[in-house]
Amino acid sequence: MPELPEVETTRRGIATVMTGQPLKALNVFEPRMRWPVPADLPERVNGHRVRSCDRRGKYLLIGFDHGVMIVHLGMSGSLRRVSLDEPARKHDHIEWVFENARFLLHDPRRFGAVLWHDLADGPVLSHPLLAKLGIEPFDERFTATFLHQQLQGRTQSIKQALLGGDIVVGVGNIYASESLFRAGINPKIRAGSLSKARCERLWTSIRSTLDDALTSGGSTLRDYVNATGAPGSYFDIHAAVYDRAGQPCRVCQTPIKRIVQGQRATYYCPTCQRR
């Protein structure tokens, strides 16, 4: 699934082109996504100028004067820029057409979403999909102390607590495994048992892992591509444990283990990440 670095990389790519430009046409080729694309969405936005391209968690927020288009890339989706005359491919479901640019939402599994939040309904951050999201990982309010406080009393594993998204957003399955490895924390440890010192290490690791991924343009797993159609390079350079089951740890040479937590694969080094 595209995670925060992939979504932020996409946001940066579309923001440089879309912002300030009138949308000539929004074309919906397939409305049956995770939630149906509103039938009247094209008439709501066609001819209106894009005022902003923001992000909240894994949601892209394309702002207009009268509302916000909420876009989610789903499990394997991408939003890429294409030439004005390039034919749409199979699984290209939504098209944004500007005077000198064109974007296509590619989503083979149709787990993504393109929704509308009208300005008359209040701030977009009050939308049900956004209202309960945790703090952003690079927000100055996200501190080691905050993380330690939020974990108190939680009996779930630390990996599951990170994936929940109600403490901090964007630390999805891939980057949770990598962050825990950097912090030397076993993913099976009960979240509420982490000491302040361990939370300090984890907080530092979360931010450094996501920062490295942003610098590299996101992940090359599956078919992720950024807004220009290019793959990221994070796992060519930085991956320490994710998707490396049975391979030697880059630090101690112990074989990396794979377990399943909450129906998601977790990768860790049993030596570097002792309980």
Per-residue pLDDT, 222: 46
Strand partners, 261: 264
Mean pLDDT, the chain, integer: 92
Strand partners, 71: 60, 114
pLDDT digits (tens, 9 = 90+) for 208-222: 999 988 888 755 444
The torsion angles phi and psi of 69, rounded to 5 degrees, stand at -85, 125
With a cut of 90, say whether residue 170 has pLDDT above it: no
Sorted by where each starts, the structural domains of the chain and their CATH numbers stand as: 4-126 (3.20.190.10), 144-268 (1.10.8.50)
Region 131-152: mean pLDDT is: 97
Quote the radius of gyration of the chain (alpha carbons, Å).
20
Per-residue pLDDT, 237: 52
Per-residue pLDDT, 220: 43
DSSP 176: H
Strands (E), the chain: 25-28, 52-56, 59-64, 67-72, 78-82, 92-97, 102-106, 113-118, 257-261, 264-268
Chain Cα centroid distance, residue 240: 20
pLDDT digits (tens, 9 = 90+) for 96-122: 999 999 999 999 999 999 999 999 999
Instruction: Show which residues are catalytic.
Output: 2-3, 58, 264
Region 11-35: mean pLDDT is: 96
Q: What is the pTM of this model?
A: 0.88
Please give the single-letter amino acid code of residue 83. S
Place of tokens 């430009």: 21
Whether 171 and 163 have beta carbons less than 8 Å apart is answered as yes
Per-residue pLDDT, 215: 85
